[in-house]
Amino acid sequence: MKRHWFGALLVAAMVAGLATSPAAQELKVGASISLTGTYAKPGKYTQEGYLLCEKEINDKGGLLGRKVRFIIYDDKSEPPTAIKLYEKLITEDKVELVLGPYSSPVTNAASTVSEKYKKLMMATLAATTSIWERGFKYLVMTISPAEVYLEGLVDLAVERGLKTIAVINEDTLFSKAAAKGTIELAKKKGVQVVFHEAYPKGTTDFSALLIKIKSLNPDVIAAGSYFDDAVATTRQMKELDVNPRMYGVTVGGDLPEFYQLLGKTAEFVYGSSQWEKSLPYPGIKEFVANYEKMWNREPVYHSAAAYGGCQIYAEAVRRANSLDSDKLREQLLKLKVSTAFGDYQVDERGFQIAHKMVLHQWQDGKKVTVWPAAVAEGKPLYPTPPWQRR
């Protein structure tokens, strides 16, 4: 833990110190990240991914023959702060490339600034489709959109001939899109949506929702969640003895803390993830090893997405042999690559279309990737026993 503190302070100190002594020839890359506030946890992983990418680029001789230097500020998880910071990065620090912040709301706000100055932003951790429906030209997406988070859950349900699904979600940008996508997928595949309700952010008591669901007895329950609500719904489902044949959550189910808090209750629960370190992607082993060496902890998908997005951006710079936003955009729209984070390809909006989600299930305290079949580590345990027998 100490090292991360030190790292962040170092960045802040560097930023403060170098503001007065411009180092010539350095290629400055800017980003704001939530290092404090609600998103601090995933934000930290994002920052670590970026800094590892910076180190590796410099180890290989930099970009366009210049050393790169990342300038990263803390946006306190607040969109207005991010707006201010990207103004600062672009107009005062004169960064030549910009990387995205963490989370959809912050990216939504920050990208209005980069768009205004015609700076191409590689958005590494925004999954909400509507961000790419605003007609922005200089915004490229790295991770899979929210709508397909639970594709695996629906797929597996169809495979087993399950007929009904209940969907709940937190009423925020990302979770809502995830729920909407799940509902559409289910309908398309002939699974009947028997229940859908949203709850406000910060809800801790889900009993009213769950009792309604219990009376409908759906085969599948899908939750568009962040971390705290995912833990609470799971716990309360057990207390109220709500027994769907399959139950999956969008975010939260993939963090080690999920199992640490729930223990045996987490068994059989499905969770989705943008990335797992066991996946057969090119360079993934080196990435995990280097990351652990640099930061003394395992990377999670936020780290991998930040790292992968940054690598793709660097690749586009090399191919364009220029820092011009229009040329970079052209390259990024053409590019089809696989990094340690997986596949990359975007459509003409800059919207991600190649990257794949994975679904995992907690089995005996381990997170086992069970979908898609091509990269699965094991078979999903099915049928799910009722709560008393887990």
Partner 1 sequence: MSPMVGALSLLLVILAGLAVLPFFGSGYVVSFSIQVFMWMALAGSWNLISGFTGYVSFGHVAFFGVGAYTGALLITKAGWHWLLAGLAGSLPAAALALVIGYPCLRLKGPYFAIAMLGLNEVVRALVSYFEGFTGGGSGVSLPPILSIVPVYYAMGAVAMAVTLLTYRIITCQFGLRLLSIREDEMAAEVMGINTARLKLYAFLLSAVFPGIVGGFYAWYASHVEPLSVFPLLTTITMIIMCLFGGKGTVFGPVLGAGLLSVFQELVWARFLFVHQAIFGALIVGVVLLMPRGILGVLQERYRLPRTI
Q: Write out the residues near partner 1 by the rule CB under 8 A.
A: 5, 8-9, 12-13, 15-16, 35-36, 73-74, 76, 78-80, 83-84, 87-88, 90-92, 105, 108-109, 112, 115-117, 128, 130, 134, 136, 170-173, 175-177, 198, 200-201
CB of 185 to partner 1, least distance (A): 19
The nearer residue to partner 1, 83 or 246, going by C-beta atoms, is 83
**297 contacts: CB under 8 Å, gap ≥ 6:** none
351 vs 387, beta carbon nearer partner 1? 351
- CB nearer partner 1, residue 47 or residue 384: 47
Q: How far is the CB of 94 from partner 1 (least distance, A)?
A: 10
In the complex, least distance from residue 10 CB atom to partner 1, rounded to whole angstroms: 10
Least Å distance, CB 171 to partner 1, is 3
CB of 71 to partner 1, least distance (A): 11
SS (HEC) of the chain: CHHHHHHHHHHHHHHHHHCCCCCCCCEEEEEEECCCCCCHHHHHHHHHHHHHHHHHHHHCCCECCECEEEEEEECCCCHHHHHHHHHHHHHHCCCCEEECCECHHHHHHHHHHHHHCCCCEEECECCCHHHHHCCCCCEEECCCCHHHCCHHHHHHHHHCCCCEEEEEEECCHHHHHHHHHHHHHHHHCCCEEEEEEEECCCCCCCHHHHHHHHHHCCCEEEEECCHHHHHHHHHHHHHCCCCCCEEEECCCCCCHHHHHHHHHHHCCCEEEECCCCCCCCCCHHHHHHHHHHHHCCCCCHHHHHHHHHHHHHHHHHHHHCCCCHHHHHHHHHHCCEEECCEEECECCCCCECCCCCEEEEEECCEEEEEECHHHCCCCCCCCCCCHHHC
> Between 16 and 24, whose beta carbon lies closer to partner 1?
16
Q: Which is nearer to partner 1, 32 or 164 (CB)?
A: 32
Is the CB of 115 or the CB of 330 nearer to partner 1? Answer: 115
- Nearest approach in angstroms of CB 344 to partner 1 is 25
At its nearest, how many Å lie between partner 1 and the CB of residue 176?
5
CB 118 to partner 1: min, Å? 11
- Closest to partner 1 by CB, 35 or 209: 35
Closer CB to partner 1, 188 or 201, in the complex: 201
